[in-house]
Homo-oligomer: A and B are copies of this chain.
Amino acid sequence: MTWGHPRVPHGQSILSVSQYGRTAVEDLFDVIDRKDWGDCTGKIIANLFYEPSTRTSSSFHAAMLKLGGNVIPINEVTYSSVSKGETLEDTIRTLGCYVDAIVLRHPDDDAALVAHKVSSVPIVNAGCGSGEHPTQALLDLYTIYKENHTIDGLTVTLMGDLRYGRTVHSLVQLLGYFNVKIQFVSPPDLRIPGKYAKMGTIVELNDVLSTTDVLYLTRVQKERHTDHASIFEPLEADYAAAPFSYGITEEHMASAKRGLTLMHPLPRLSEIPKEIDSDPRAAYFRQVRYGLDVRMALLSGILQED
């Protein structure tokens, strides 16, 4: 890998954060800052979701509408026996006859790449298997940049389920392009995998809270904690098997930097109590809003060139 070099391969598809070197990231963020995206009137995307994720699909849907384009939502994909039969490749080739790009969520790690190989239109990986979720990682990084007016020089602490969280894996990869101190906080069973672990240090929250610029939390499943249904990201089954209890508290916030950026990809459960929402350092809903801009820039980019 050529860290830090400008890239963006794979035709116009967005498959992996590894397509983005430092220069490509900086160019993208410059486009977003200037809201310098083109009009997509007359363009159509398909939101092809083999797994439900209303959060992500709504974000792409809104981004496309705000660009002037349109969306065909295909959310009802099921694995029932009655609908068995067609390969992903044929589905992609068919949809490619109707739309200008396909936003794909799929349970298989390699689905985006498989789709890209046969597709006549760009594929956007909106989360496939336990692999990549590149647009989420780019919006996370953009949030860090917007909240701090820089990325270089920051101390970023990632906390929670670092083992299964594809969001975290992709974000660590992007942070590697910058001069950032990376720290990991997690229960032993949910440690960051080795290939990412070497890019940072495993620490305890209390030891690093006062020096952390960005604290990025991920979901924790506390059994039977919830009383509302999430319409957004379903929780991975693994959580249910290994519930554990921790999170950030108001006491933690009191010890943290005044300029802290507290982030979370949402949905959050007990790991961030509601009381913290009114703290100006709680950036997770601004993160949602930045995500819309990031996806507008990305969609506009791939749709303008064809």
Q: Which residues of A contact B (CB under 8 A)?
A: 42, 44, 46, 48, 50, 52, 54-55, 58-59, 61-62, 65-66, 70, 72-80, 82-91, 93-95, 97-99, 221, 226-232, 234-235, 237, 266-269, 274, 285, 288-289, 291-292
Q: How far is the CB of A147 from chain B (nearest CB, A)?
A: 15
- CB–CB B232/A91 < 8 A: yes
List of B residues within 8 angstroms of A288 by Cβ: 93-94, 97-98
Q: How far is the CB of A97 from chain B (nearest CB, A)?
A: 4
- CB–CB A84/B230 < 8 A: yes
Q: Which of A58, A86, A88 has the most CB of B within 10 A?
A: A86
- CB–CB A72/B77 < 8 A: no
- A285 touches which one: B74, B85, B94 (CB < 8 A)? B94
List of B residues within 8 angstroms of A85 by Cβ: 221, 226, 228-230, 235, 267, 269
Number of copies: 3
- A226 touches which one: B84, B266, B274 (CB < 8 A)? B84
- A65 touches which one: B55, B72, B89 (CB < 8 A)? B72
Q: How far is the CB of A28 from chain B (nearest CB, A)?
A: 20
List of B residues within 8 angstroms of A61 by Cβ: 72, 98
In the complex, what distance in Å separates the CA atom of A274 from the CA atom of B61?
A: 33
Specify the chain B residue showing the minimal Cβ separation from A55: B94
- A78 touches which one: B99, B229, B289 (CB < 8 A)? B229
- A88 touches which one: B52, B94, B228, B235 (CB < 8 A)? B228
- CB–CB A229/B285 < 8 A: no
**Given A87-B227, A90-B268, A91-B228, 5 further pairs, Cβ under 8 A:** A59-B98, A82-B235, A84-B226, A86-B267, A93-B285
- CB–CB B234/A83 < 8 A: yes
- CB–CB B44/A65 < 8 A: yes
- CB–CB A54/B74 < 8 A: yes
In the complex, what distance in Å separates the CA atom of A99 from the CA atom of B50?
A: 24
**Given A94-B285, A267-B90, also A54-B77 (CB < 8 A):** yes
In the complex, what distance in Å separates the CA atom of A85 from the CA atom of B42?
A: 37
- A83 touches which one: B42, B76, B229 (CB < 8 A)? B229
- A86 touches which one: B58, B95, B232, B237 (CB < 8 A)? B232
In the complex, what distance in Å separates the CA atom of A271 from the CA atom of B268?
A: 48
Q: How far is the CB of A40 from chain B (nearest CB, A)?
A: 12
- CB–CB B58/A44 < 8 A: no
Q: How far is the CB of A68 from chain B (nearest CB, A)?
A: 8
Specify the chain B residue showing the minimal Cβ separation from A221: B85
- CB–CB A231/B77 < 8 A: yes
- CB–CB B76/A52 < 8 A: yes
Q: How far is the CB of A280 from chain B (nearest CB, A)?
A: 16
List of B residues within 8 angstroms of A237 by Cβ: 82
